Amino acid sequence: MQEPRPLRFAVIGAGMSGILAAIKLAEAGYRDVTVYEKAGRLGGTWRENTYPGIACDVPSHLYSYSFEPNPSWSHRYAAGAEIRAYFEDVARRRGVLPRIRFATEITRATFDGGRWHLEAQDGPLGAYDVLIAATGVLHHPNVPDIPGLDRFAGASFHSARWNHRVAIEGGRLGVVGTGSSAVQIVSAVVDRVARLTLFQRTAQWIAPQENPPYSAEERAAFARHPDRMRVLRDDLARSFVASFSDAVIDADSPQLALIEEACRANLESSVADPILREKLRPSYRAGCKRLVVSPNFYHAIQQPNAELVTEAIDHVESRGVRTRDGRLHELDVLVLATGFRADRFLRPMHVSGRGGVRLDDVWAKRPSAYLSISVPDFPNLFLVNGPNGPVGNFSLIEVAELQVAYLLQLVAELRDGRCREISATRAASERFDAERVSAAQRTVWSTGCRSWYLDDRGVPAAWPWSFDRFRAEMARPRADAWERAGVCTSP
């Protein structure tokens, strides 16, 4: 019997997916694993985003690793700092920390001689048999091109680069954007500032969401009876899929109609002023953009010191923001809650695959990957939560766990010597993309709004099918979908 081939792994990113990959590789018996993290601390998006009010819109017991339930969650929906602390604790207890090389940003990855050769700014990092990209989706800030932004005399920063040295208490704060980050910021700081101005380009549907704390008795019961957490997680997962995940992929579903009715009722019952209410009423269907959830945004925006501005921004000047009606909104601090460049993935890293093919060229029009995991001609490179995955409608932890289990089945072929290189075939990738584009037309994301879900053609880039189909696809790789090279008889 042939001895297993020793494999050397590099994982890029020490966020949720990178930590997961390191843990599962160790469980599978792989010892030579290095996690490269560009920052000085792990945590991914929960490290990057520290703005006031940041929290997850997936229930805490669902936004947890299935193998690491946490009895100590303080609320139904956890705050960002609490989530980051959870990942830090898991990484420490699971032995991931010694595997992480912090402050090491990968600038180049080149496939040559059957291995991936990595470089950082200060030089080469070595060669690896397998490269796992756990680089995340929402971490490259989208900074709008607003004329005069550099002339603002006050403090200005993106919400994902919150400057905690800047005092906002008693000041005049402007927030550009109305997505989840903006809604959370407004709700968290309206009582701390003298004046809050929210610049809205597009109104958002706000789903009501209460966030009750878990009592000390409940947390103690979870700790004593871990099975209760597993049951709760399973119940939350089923409910999340039935009431939301499967709703948004069918624009005509009765579940989506219920979501829309709940959002309309929330607006009607929460906003007293009819003029403000109509300014806050979107012109598109609920769920077309990423649904924003909040228990108190409507309350916050109706405070006497808050103002919703729907007039378009013309430019920024030293004293504040000038809108197209000529009005100057004087500000001390300007926050750009304008989202992220969701099409970056591995970029700006320079990645070259078999024969020198460049990922920038392959993705020149738009990023794509078979099952969001593999790109043809880039052997032994696996993406976790890559392009065309379920970023908008499932819990990303569930997605990542299924994807890592899937890619480990492929890695086993490399370990056992069945092949030296493995990547998705071009035919499988093209077939997957064609089916995905066709299915996307039936989703709510295709019903007439602009969102970061849409690619350059206006086609939703997210997974357009049910969670059951995703789970089925992740159960076992299809033999004919994968190209294998370098079959060998000895390690």
Q: Give the pLDDT confidence of 289-305 residue by residue, as tens digits.
A: 999 999 999 999 999 99
Tell whether 316 and 347 lie within a shared domain: no
Please tell me what DSSP assigns to residue 241. Answer: I
- The whole-number average pLDDT for the span 238-264 is 95
Higher pLDDT, 323 or 347: 323
Choose one of 279, 303, 336: the last residue of a domain.
Answer: 336
Domain extent, residue 204, equals 149-212+251-336
Tell whether 426 and 462 lie within a shared domain: yes
* CB-count burial class (<10 Å; 0-12, 13-18, 19+) for 272: exposed
pLDDT at 308: 98
Tell whether 159 and 291 lie within a shared domain: yes
Pairing between β-strand 328-330 and β-strand 320-323 as defined by DSSP bridges? antiparallel
User: With contact defined as beta carbons under 8 Å apart, do 323 and 294 qualify?
Assistant: no
Tell whether 358 and 292 lie within a shared domain: no
Percentage of the chain exceeding pLDDT 90:
92
Tell whether 305 and 178 lie within a shared domain: yes
Closest by CA position to 399, among listed 2, 20, 114, 5 = 20
Terminal-residue alpha carbon distance, the chain: 11
* Residue 476 neighbours by CB under 8 Å, 6+ apart: 406, 409
Classify residue 230: in a domain, yes or no: no
Partners of 380 in the β-ladder: none
Choose one of 320, 336, 352: the last residue of a domain.
Answer: 336
Give me the DSSP letters along 176-225.
E--SHHHHHHHHHHTTTSSEEEEE-SS---EEE---PBPPHHHHHHHHH-
Task: Kindly tell me if the per-residue pLDDT of 469 is higher than 70.
Answer: yes
Partners of 90 in the β-ladder: none
Q: Model confidence over 377-412: pLDDT tens digits?
A: 999 999 999 999 988 788 899 999 999 999 999 999
Classify residue 409: in a domain, yes or no: yes
Closest by CA position to 40, among listed 104, 123, 96 = 104
- The whole-number average pLDDT for the span 87-116 is 98
Classify residue 396: in a domain, yes or no: yes
Tell whether 167 and 22 lie within a shared domain: no
* Residue 165 neighbours by CB under 8 Å, 6+ apart: none
Classify residue 285: in a domain, yes or no: yes
Q: Model confidence over 408-453: pLDDT tens digits?
A: 999 999 999 999 999 999 999 999 999 999 999 999 999 999 998 8
Using CA atoms, how far apart are residues 195 and 191, in angstroms rounded to an integer? 9
Using CA atoms, how far apart are residues 251 and 246, in angstroms rounded to an integer? 10
Choose one of 336, 370, 393: the last residue of a domain.
Answer: 336
Q: Model confidence over 38-92: pLDDT tens digits?
A: 999 999 999 999 999 999 999 999 999 999 999 999 999 999 999 999 999 999 9
Domains contained in the chain, number: 2
Tell whether 136 and 153 lie within a shared domain: no
Percentage of the chain exceeding pLDDT 70:
99
User: With contact defined as beta carbons under 8 Å apart, do 242 and 327 qualify?
Assistant: no
- How far lies 159's CA from each of 49, 139, 206, in Å? 7, 11, 20
pLDDT band at 171 (very low <50, low <70, confident <90, very high): very high
Q: Given the structure tokens 């009895």, which residue do they identify?
A: 71
Handedness of CA 10, 15, 19, 20 (dihedral sign): negative
Give me the DSSP letters along 429-478.
HHHHHHHHHHHHTTSGGGSS---TTB-TTS-B-S--S-HHHHHHHHHS--
Closest by CA position to 139, among listed 376, 346, 442, 370 = 346
pLDDT band at 489 (very low <50, low <70, confident <90, very high): very low
Tell whether 153 and 202 lie within a shared domain: yes
Classify residue 233: in a domain, yes or no: no
pLDDT band at 3 (very low <50, low <70, confident <90, very high): confident
Using CA atoms, how far apart are residues 71 and 226, in angstroms rounded to an integer? 8
Retrieve residue 309's tokens: 């501005």
Tell whether 261 and 376 lie within a shared domain: no
pLDDT at 391: 84
Tell whether 130 and 164 lie within a shared domain: no
What's the whole-model pTM score?
A: 0.95
Task: Kindly tell me if the per-residue pLDDT of 1 is higher than 60.
Answer: no
- Largest Cα span, the chain: 79
pLDDT at 38: 96
pLDDT band at 139 (very low <50, low <70, confident <90, very high): confident
Classify residue 74: in a domain, yes or no: yes
pLDDT at 344: 79
Average pLDDT, rounded, for the chain: 95
Q: Model confidence over 173-226: pLDDT tens digits?
A: 999 999 999 999 999 999 999 999 999 999 999 999 899 999 999 999 999 999
Using CA atoms, how far apart are residues 83 and 61, in angstroms rounded to an integer? 11
Using CA atoms, how far apart are residues 483 and 345, in angstroms rounded to an integer? 23
User: With contact defined as beta carbons under 8 Å apart, do 181 and 159 qualify?
Assistant: yes
Classify residue 239: in a domain, yes or no: no
Partners of 330 in the β-ladder: 320
Tell whether 170 and 106 lie within a shared domain: no
CATH code for the domain in which residue 297 is found = 3.50.50.60
**3-state class percentages of the chain: helix first, strand second, coil last, to nearest 5:** 35, 20, 45
pLDDT band at 2 (very low <50, low <70, confident <90, very high): low
Tell whether 161 and 123 lie within a shared domain: no
Task: Kindly tell me if the per-residue pLDDT of 490 is higher than 80.
Answer: no
* CB-count burial class (<10 Å; 0-12, 13-18, 19+) for 73: buried
Closest by CA position to 41, among listed 79, 93, 81 = 81
Classify residue 322: in a domain, yes or no: yes
